[in-house]
Amino acid sequence: MKNSIGTSVILTLAGESHGSMLCAILDGLAPGIPVDEQFIASRLALRRPKGPADTARREKDAFSIVSGVFEGRTTGAPITILIPNEDVRSADYERTHALARPSHADYAAHIKYGGCEDWRGGGHFSGRVTAGIVAAGAIAAAALEAKGISIGTHILECAGVKDTPFNPTDTSEQVRSLQGMDFPVLSPVREAMEERILAAKGELDSVGGIVQTAVCGLPAGVGEPWFSSVEGVLANALFSIGGIKGVEFGSGFALASMKGSQANDAYSVSGGKVLTKTNHSGGVNGGISNGMPLIFSAVVKPTPSIARPQDSVDMNTGEAAQLTITGRHDPAIVRRVCIVVSSLVAIVLCDLLALRFGTDYLK
């Protein structure tokens, strides 16, 4: 599939940065799930650029749901969400659109689409398209919450400043604390992070970071051993989010320098419940959820749009060229990525749960 993800619960994304609107279709969600437009709006607000540390583009995200919801609840039919684009300034792109922006999709897209791609604002590759993920994900996240499954994402690291990681074996309070937070961190590092982001912006530069997600309440026994592992399905989803270049579960890359005796999660039984004492596995063994918190991190590269002159190529002539990107850009997207990740994860988990327990599971 292209621009679609899922088997039983399926998200399809369409739209371009500077087109008239974005479209997200969320199909296969159980019927009867309450749809709270205010909650959706509040999640979109978390993704929206806000202060000097974000792009100057200002979108109202005045979405409308035009199908699949009736009398305030899902019907079981596909849910179509439209999000108009309003604050569009294509002129920024007109002069230079033949010049491939380094570490953007421009050149790869040019080869793939033969020059027919919509280059205005990055077109279908734009982070703007993630607004559809957030809107659709809000419905999914609310449905999961109603079943006791909570998702939270925070900025684990940004521009060298580190937040406290999730407590691997007990995340529920931390996850709760992140709900509705527009600069989601678990310790008082916001100021330091914002300072560094603005410093980079001042240097016409940008910064990256790491986001970390925890899911609590996910039942054990979800996922498949080969090729639909919880890790694989989530990673496939996450790598679609612009700028994500690495995904790790549990202790992730740190496992490379651990011994088995350190890395293994010993079992304990508490109140009849099977737990593990540590959670280096991130809640997944053999591709299948084990009932412990699902924990993973994703690295977000620094925004490639920087205002310094860069070596480029003119895609029309094939010749080397110098490019200075103008336009409005985020010096860091890591804050805004958090809600996108949580939203996309909500949709993927709805899919895994529906496959495992049937389409009415979230009803």
Told to check if 20 binds a copy of itself by CB under 8 A, we report yes
Told to check if 340 binds a copy of itself by CB under 8 A, we report no
Residues 298-337 binding a copy of itself (CB under 8 A) are 299-306, 308, 310-313, 318-320
Question: Rounded CA gap, 258 and 250, in Å?
Answer: 13
Number of residues near a copy of itself (by CB under 8 A): 154
One of 62, 91, 111, 146 touching a copy of itself (CB under 8 A): 111
Told to check if 197 binds a copy of itself by CB under 8 A, we report no
Question: Rounded CA gap, 138 and 132, in Å?
Answer: 10
Structure tokens at 264: 């293994």
Whole-Å CA distances, 354 to 6, 222, 338: 10, 10, 24
Whole-Å CA distances, 202 to 206, 228, 307, 330: 9, 44, 10, 12
Told to check if 13 binds a copy of itself by CB under 8 A, we report yes
Angle subtended by helix axes 230-238 and 334-357, to nearest 10: 140
Question: Rounded CA gap, 130 and 209, in Å?
Answer: 18
Told to check if 343 binds a copy of itself by CB under 8 A, we report no
Contact predicate 347/11, CB 8 Å: yes
Q: Phi and psi (nearest 5°) for 283?
A: 90, 5
Residues 223-282 binding a copy of itself (CB under 8 A) are 223-229, 231-233, 235-240, 242, 244-253, 255-269, 272, 274, 276-277, 280-282
Amino acid identity, residue 73?
R
Residues 145-184 binding a copy of itself (CB under 8 A) are 157-160
Nearer to a copy of itself, 64 or 187 (CB): 64
Nearer to a copy of itself, 49 or 117 (CB): 117
Q: Is 289 helix (H, G, I), strand (E, B) or coil?
A: strand
Nearer to a copy of itself, 179 or 310 (CB): 310
The CB-based long-range contact list for 251-258 (8 Å cut-off, 24+ gap) reads 251/280, 251/282, 252/282, 252/296, 252/297, 255/280
- Give least dist CB 50 to a copy of itself, A: 20
Contact predicate 345/237, CB 8 Å: yes
Q: SS3 string of 227-252?
A: CCCHHHHHHHHHCCCCCEEEEEECCH
Question: Rounded CA gap, 73 and 37, in Å?
Answer: 11
One of 57, 104, 335, 336 touching a copy of itself (CB under 8 A): 104
One of 42, 75, 164, 167 touching a copy of itself (CB under 8 A): 75
Told to check if 202 binds a copy of itself by CB under 8 A, we report no
Told to check if 121 binds a copy of itself by CB under 8 A, we report no
Q: Identify which range of 5-13, 42-50, 88-96, 183-191 contacts a copy of itself by CB under 8 A.
A: 5-13
Told to check if 7 binds a copy of itself by CB under 8 A, we report yes
One of 80, 171, 342, 343 touching a copy of itself (CB under 8 A): 80
Told to check if 68 binds a copy of itself by CB under 8 A, we report yes
Told to check if 214 binds a copy of itself by CB under 8 A, we report no
Told to check if 113 binds a copy of itself by CB under 8 A, we report yes
Q: Phi and psi (nearest 5°) for 188?
A: -75, 70
- Give least dist CB 71 to a copy of itself, A: 8
* Tally of CB atoms within 10 A around 311: 9
Told to check if 14 binds a copy of itself by CB under 8 A, we report yes
- Give least dist CB 291 to a copy of itself, A: 7
